[in-house]
Amino acid sequence: MGSIFVYVEHREGTVKKASFEAIAAARSLAPEGEVVAIIVGSGVQDLGAELGQRGADRVLVAEDDRLQFYAPIATAKVVADLMTSAGGGIYVCAATAQGKDVSARIAARLDAGMASDVTALRLDGEELVCERPIMAGKAIATVRVKPGTVRMVTLRPNSIPPLEADPARTCAVESAAMNLDENDLKARTLEIVRAEGGRIDVAEADIIVSGGRGIKGPENWGIIEELAGLLGAAVGASRAVVDAGWAGHEMQVGQTGKVVSPALYIAAGISGAIQHLAGMSSSKCIVAINKDPEAPIFKVADYGVVGDLFEVVPALTAAIRELG
């Protein structure tokens, strides 16, 4: 079967939770197999030990000052070369924006079969069997990635829990060979400018409170933010709200926004159009607040409150505040 490689994403000296989930997925595929984490960047050597505690057996560190921020061509080349020189294997990566970008590039370089945005995976002999939501989440496709030099998969964040960090678990951390020229660095990120307010990214959040057109106007958006703030949640929005300019595009959940899978998704004043459901129907627990009992969002909700959000949301906020 070969090793199972995990491309690890990091930012500002911290490994992304979704990459720990990818390591857990790799571990689950072959409990006795070798899980090799690949980390590319500058000053990332120290992250190796933590990757070992989360399930990696070996960490390959590709260090280069020019790779401080994500450089798509160079990163794809480094990872593809490492897997090729190891004789291939299985590749797992979080289906984040960066993960999807780099994985597609690696698959093209290696002519490898890939299942993207999967929510479950297992091995059936040498075949990688993956489940992935299709048709805006209305159906689940089972995809089989046939044995080849490399079999690739990107994993939807929040689909598989990360392994608890085991401080007693150690791993080998090795410098990886790299062969980059200027052409490989034609495209690279030079600077990352943070959005004001340090918002939690909906794509990574455990809890999301989303507002829809039922919120009526930007002057009322504060009730969504207040509930989210109290829960330590990210703020999401339907496209109607984003198109109206009441919320930023980075908050949009859905087919043309972000695909999310949090533990808890609270939808207030969102009708539940198919394009919205495409982005959130794999959430673990969905709470819908809508004054229309026929709203389609109730079809996917675990808990539904039929009522006026201007009464229900503040009451929920007050009740949670009372709990301390």
Ligand X SMILES: Cc1cc2nc3c(=O)[nH]c(=O)nc-3n(C[C@H](O)[C@H](O)[C@H](O)COP(=O)(O)OP(=O)(O)OC[C@H]3O[C@@H](n4cnc5c(N)ncnc54)[C@H](O)[C@@H]3O)c2cc1C
Instruction: Return residues touching ligand X (CB under 6 A).
Output: 212-214, 238-241, 252-257, 269-271, 273, 275-276, 279, 289-292, 295, 308-310
Indicate the residue among 34 and 250 with the shorter CB distance to ligand X.
250
Question: Least distance (Å) from ligand X to the CB of residue 119?
Answer: 19
Indicate the residue among 15 and 253 with the shorter CB distance to ligand X.
253
Q: Which residue is nearest to ligand X (CB)?
A: 254
Question: Least distance (Å) from ligand X to the CB of residue 209?
Answer: 14
Rounded Cα–Cα distance for residues 322 and 324 (Å): 5
Number of CB atoms found within 10 A of residue 181's CB: 8
- Structure-token pair, residue 54: 């989360």
The C-alpha torsion from 60 through 64 and 66 to 67, rounded to 10°, is 20
Indicate the residue among 142 and 256 with the shorter CB distance to ligand X.
256
Indicate the residue among 99 and 279 with the shorter CB distance to ligand X.
279
Q: Is 226 exposed, middle or buried (0-12, 13-18, 19+ CB in 10 A)?
A: middle
Reference 195, options 252, 260, 253, 250; nearest CA is: 250
Strands 58-63 and 35-41: parallel
Reference 257, options 241, 270, 238, 272; nearest CA is: 238
Question: Least distance (Å) from ligand X to the CB of residue 316?
Answer: 13
Question: Least distance (Å) from ligand X to the CB of residue 288?
Answer: 9
Question: Least distance (Å) from ligand X to the CB of residue 137?
Answer: 12
Q: Are 278 and 137 spatial neighbours (Cβ–Cβ below 8 Å)? A: yes
Reference 139, options 323, 288, 274, 16; nearest CA is: 274
Question: Least distance (Å) from ligand X to the CB of residue 266?
Answer: 12
Indicate the residue among 10 and 258 with the shorter CB distance to ligand X.
258
Indicate the residue among 145 and 223 with the shorter CB distance to ligand X.
223
Sequence-distant (6+) residues with CB within 8 A of 249 are: 242, 257
